[in-house]
Amino acid sequence: MTRAQAIAKAQDCFDSGRLKSDLARLVAIPTESQNPDRAPVLGDYLEQEMRPLLESLGFACRVLTHPKARGPFLYAERIEDPSLPTILGYGHGDVIRGLDAQWSEGLSPWKLTEREGRWYGRGVVDNKGQHLINLSALRAVLETRGKLGFNAKYLIEMGEESGSPGLRELCTEQKELFKADILIASDGPRLNADRPTVFLGARGGVTFDLSINAREGGHHSGNWGGILSDPAIQLAHAIASIASPTGQIRIHEWVPKELPPAVRKALVGCEIDGGPDGPTIDPDWGEPGLTPAEQVFGWCSFDVLAMKSGVPETPVNAVPPSAWARCQLRFVVGIDQNDVVPALKRHLQRHNFPMVEVSLSRSEIFGATRLDPEDPWVDFALASIAQSTGKQPALLPNLGGSLPNDIFADILGLRTIWVPHSYPGCSQHAPDEHLPVAIAREALTAMAGLYWDVGSGNAPAV
């Protein structure tokens, strides 16, 4: 009954093919929360796969619902001793749309396929594979020790890809149910494929639409061009006032006053690498004077996700009547999320763009969070993962993307430790989503060691 035995058992879960076969069943369930036709499938994932798995580990399970939610939630708990620390785990079983027709030949979003050291399928990294790895590691510890050595609670939602509607309200109403000492969960990518990573929160995210509706219908550009305002030109200039030609944000309320020293220190030596299939970083883009890691994990970014004016598929000689753009701000701790849209409206008024309408594209806003990098649980997790993998993990103050971590940190008041089991080039949210098998095996190793250490009695005080 040793730590090494627990890790060996977790590795055997991979080597025996069990993890692959379990994940194949999860991938085969098309849990697209953004597709209304898949609504019945969301509950099937919980009842057919997650409930039996968690009950086999001694968890008591119950399905929760909320009127605002896109799908059901599964809550599970295993209480060994009220005096022990309680760990909350989290995962989401819903996935982004499959985009079936866009996958490479021989691949399907709903069938796990192994090719050249990678497992392909929708959800293998976001997020079915990640919470399956953690639950499999829990099993390894439980079967080795005969107990976890801590209390465990688990929450699996089915609407994260739709902005986690209802999760905030559920956690607000059920604070006592979700009461725990720390969140240990997995989502998002590592810093790179070869380096285990811990991140302590997430950037916030606000998605909004900019639109100009000048008039009804288009008008012939030969007869009316030059005397009718062109919404596309106006909107292009409005966007240009928000960010410089090199992407530097020009709204002062949208950027922090400084990069905190603790964040800068944590990011020393962190290099972003999407692997051979990843894009090439543009060194002159964004805030001057920051490294790529500081840009993504310590600063804010503004992007235009889509734009439209006229009929792009069949352009005609007409001044367009309207223009539209969907934009997004990713922001860090220190930015007032409730002032993002008002600050934008004030900025547009100052720059003489009163014709631009601003509206949120969805009501859910993920707040920015960041656990103190000097919290003792951070060093504990880093040391555990280093011991298990033989690698010094990267420490990121927060994920570059957005997660509902503010619900756990702010509403439930939890420390938050995330250990991702993916990498930046995994094609998350795109065709050909994949998980390198080497990451899967190493992740089982790291999580089995971490859970073992939490239950050893040597974890920091809570």
Q: Is residue 295 part of a domain?
A: yes
Among 328, 360, 392, the domain boundary falls at 360
CATH of the domain at 403: 3.40.630.10
**Three-state DSSP class for 462?**
coil
Q: Which helix (H) or strand (E) holds 298?
A: helix 292-298
Q: Is residue 272 part of a domain?
A: no
pLDDT at 140: 98
Question: Domain total for the chain?
Answer: 2
Query: pLDDT tens for residues 428-462?
Result: 999 999 999 999 999 999 999 999 999 999 899 87
Assess whether 196 and 209 both reside in one domain: no
Q: Is residue 46 part of a domain?
A: yes
pTM for this entry: 0.91
Query: pLDDT tens for residues 198-237?
Result: 999 999 999 999 999 999 999 999 999 999 999 999 999 9
pLDDT at 104: 97
Residue with tokens 């890809």: 161
Assess whether 190 and 210 both reside in one domain: no
Assess whether 235 and 353 both reside in one domain: yes
Residues of the chain with pLDDT under 70: 363
The boundaries of the domain holding residue 100 are: 3-202+368-454
Among 304, 337, 360, the domain boundary falls at 360
Q: Between helices 3-15 and 18-27, what is the axis angle to 10°?
A: 60
C-alpha–C-alpha distance, residues 395 and 202, integer Å: 13
Among 299, 332, 360, the domain boundary falls at 360
Assess whether 153 and 34 both reside in one domain: yes
pLDDT at 100: 96
Q: Is residue 277 part of a domain?
A: no
pLDDT at 363: 67
Assess whether 352 and 218 both reside in one domain: yes
C-alpha–C-alpha distance, residues 199 and 378, integer Å: 9
Assess whether 71 and 177 both reside in one domain: yes
CATH of the domain at 329: 3.30.70.360
Assess whether 111 and 188 both reside in one domain: yes
C-alpha–C-alpha distance, residues 327 and 394, integer Å: 30
Assess whether 309 and 430 both reside in one domain: no
Assess whether 426 and 380 both reside in one domain: yes
Q: Is residue 111 part of a domain?
A: yes
Assess whether 259 and 168 both reside in one domain: no
Q: Is residue 462 part of a domain?
A: no
Assess whether 296 and 332 both reside in one domain: yes
Q: Is residue 459 part of a domain?
A: no
Assess whether 339 and 413 both reside in one domain: no
Q: Is residue 461 part of a domain?
A: no
